[in-house]
Amino acid sequence: MRPRVLVTRLIPDEGLDPIRAACDADVWADDLPPPRAELLRRVVGCRGLLTLLTDRVDDELLEAAGPGLRVVSNYAVGYDNVDVMACHRRGVAVGNTPGALTETTADLAWALILATARRVAEGDRYVRTGQWRTWGPRLLLGSDVHRATLGIIGLGRIGAAVARRAAGFAMTVLYHSRSRVAPELETSLGATHVPLDELLERSDIVSINAALTPETRGLIDAVALARMKPTAVLVNTARGPIVDGRALADALRDGVIAGAGLDVTDPEPIAVDDPLLRLPNCLIVPHIASATRATRGRMAEMAAANLLAGVRGEPLPSPVPIPPGGHS
Ligand code: DGY
């Protein structure tokens, strides 16, 4: 019998084709995520589950799936939507897609760095709304990116890829991570480990590239923002809840910092009446950092490989680490 699996959205064919070839696949084909009740209903009796970051995988869902569930394959590198410990307790393997989207996400972080520091979105709106009357010596002045100081919060794969690109702009690179990275990596990136407060105080551009964990949730709050330079910009391509959105809106409105470029918000989608959307110095795109055809295809291949290995009871090619204390 072909194993039953649920795929919670239409992922690229690079992943769907092998899944359909090997499994009895229920693929949720709507543009929007399956409503919770639908997810709970469809997961019953599945051996594998391919989820997106919009699906909450918790005890309730695992319970609904039943004892036959062997694998949760998350179509993302981040897995804060998955209760990994709850999966581990039930012997359900969890996989993700590390590496596939590193460079693509770093590209978008840089798009936001440049666009925010140089006020690109504001300039575009200025032209489209017919305000452009002449070349102006004081028009839409931003900040230089070249030779500026870049502060990276979270020097994992993506943070390192953001740092690597900074060499082309002759920047000083600071970073803050849970722990220092290997000295060889620091040297090759030209990155200096500093306490968070120092990073915030010295950086012209702060790029958030950390995972969402209990430690990073709300890390950038009003106090942290107040430490930044009034000319500085904040870029977040990691997870929305790392930044206190209300505090950020106040800081942008009051000139505590100069601008923000966000790929991620809290919640997602951001409410249309959110104060951030009324601020010209806040550029927001809809969580598209990994959104290139090639990268989404690679993510689909990896997610399918994890799913298929899991349903066969084989080790996953890209397993999520078991949380501390979870090893028996
Ligand atoms: C991830 O993979 O975690 C991104 O946020 C979406 O690609």
Please tell me the residue having the least CA distance from ligand 1 atom 6. Answer: 76
Q: What is the mean pLDDT of residues 76-93?
A: 98
Cα(243) to ligand 1 centroid in Å equals 17
**Residue having the nearest C-alpha atom to atom 3 of ligand 1:** 78
Mutate to test the pocket of ligand 1, among 52, 75, 77 (most ligand atoms within 8 A of CB): 77
327 — pLDDT class (breaks 50, 70, 90): low
Q: How confident is the model at residue 323 (pLDDT cuts 50, 70, 90)?
A: confident
Q: Give the per-residue pLDDT at 23.
A: 98
Distances (CA, A) of 130 to 127, 140, 241: 5, 15, 36
d(C-alpha 155, C-alpha 134), whole Å: 43
pLDDT tens, residue by residue, 249-285: 999 999 999 999 999 999 999 999 999 999 999 999 9
Using CA atoms, how far residue 28 sits from 16, 37, 44, 93, 105, in Å, is: 12, 13, 14, 22, 26
- Residue 76 CA: nearest ligand 1 atom is 2
Give the distance (Å) from ligand 1 centre to CA of residue 241.
14
Q: 110-141 pLDDT, tens per residue? A: 999 999 999 999 999 999 999 999 999 999 99
Ligand 1 center to 102 CA (angstroms):
10
From 79, 81, 101, 285, mutation site for ligand 1 pocket: most ligand atoms within 8 A of C-beta: 101
Ligand 1 neighbours by CB, cut-off 6 Å: 53, 76-78, 101, 290
Alpha carbon of 75 to ligand 1 centroid (Å): 8
Q: For the chain, what percent of residues have pLDDT higher than 90?
A: 97
Pocket probe mutation, ligand 1, options 11, 50, 53, max atoms within 8 Å of Cβ:
53
- Judge contact between 171 and 147, C-beta under 8 A: yes
% of the chain surpassing 70 pLDDT:
99
Give CA–CA dist 155/203, Å, rounded.
Answer: 15
Instruction: For residue 227, give both structure tokens.
Output: 């430490």
What is the Å distance from ligand 1's center to 78 Cα?
A: 6
The overall average pLDDT reported for the chain is 97
